[in-house]
A and B are shown apart, each in its own frame.
Chain A
Amino acid sequence: SQQGEEDPQALSIQEGENATMNCSYKTSINNLQWYRQNSGRGLVHLILIRSNEREKHSGRLRVTLDTSKKSSSLLITASRAADTASYFCATDAYTDKLIFGTGTRLQVFP
């Protein structure tokens, strides 16, 4: 089934640096969402970007969407140790369900 693929699979950075992770998908979408998961916990919604939007901001998060390339990026600026988590993109492909990617594991060192 259609699925987003995140890149890189894992990312390690120092506190204060920016973290960028990418998501590619296969078919047209209505919207794309990013979620965060702390180890052993449920996912938390971060941001939703619709297919007619190109960029969206929420606090230290910036999401871009390029529908021509079928890709999205999530930028976390001025990372903190508390940002350590896995980050997932999810797409709907104009269906009634969300399909999740395999995630990027972000480690932020103090």
Chain B
Amino acid sequence: DGGITQSPKYLFRKEGQNVTLSCEQNLNHDAMYWYRQDPGQGLRLIYYSQIVNDFQKGDIAEGYSVSREKKESFPLTVTSAQKNPTAFYLCASSIQRGATNEKLFFGSGTQLSVL
């Protein structure tokens, strides 16, 4: 059964704590993305990666970090430097053909809240 798996579904962060959100895909897609969604808002791009061992900052990268050691995995760490981390986090992947964006496949999201 192919797709994108995000875990956990709900996550709570304490003050000063780093937390890591998992994203795994078995679609053999080259490109992976992390978006943040605040209530009633659209999606804002945090980081994206088009190839293993390479990633680029999106529009709101401050306070976040990522790694892309394997094609199928793109974990996101929300660091203590992110002062307003409460949001719904969405991971996505796509086939990347040059500069053309094909459709994104999304995971079911992780809701992060601050204790």
Measured between beta carbons, the chain A residues less than 8 angstroms from B105 are 45
Measured between beta carbons, the chain B residues less than 8 angstroms from A101 are 42
Choose from B40, B42, B96 the contact partner of A3 (Cβ within 8 Å).
B42
Choose from A40, A48, A88, A105 the contact partner of B109 (Cβ within 8 Å).
A40
**Any B CB within 8 A of the CB of A43:** yes
Tally chain B residues at the interface, Cβ within 8 Å.
Answer: 32
A interface, how many residues as a size bin?
20 to 34
Chain B interface helix/strand/loop/mixed: strand
Nearest CB in chain A to that of B6: its residue: A42
Q: Establish whether residues A100 and B58, one from each chain, have CB atoms under 8 Å apart when the complex forms.
A: no
A residues at B contact (CB < 8 Å): 1, 3, 30-31, 33, 35, 40-45, 48, 88, 90, 92, 94-103, 105
Count: A-B pairs, CB below 8 Å = 69
A98-B42 contact, Cβ under 8 Å, with A1-B59, A30-B99, A40-B109: no
Measured between beta carbons, the chain B residues less than 8 angstroms from A41 are 108-109
Measured CB to CB, the closest approach of chain B to A58, in angstroms, equals 12
12 further contact pairs, Cβ within 8 A, besides A40-B88, A99-B45: A3-B42, A33-B101, A42-B4, A42-B92, A43-B104, A48-B102, A88-B42, A92-B100, A96-B101, A97-B33, A98-B33, A103-B42
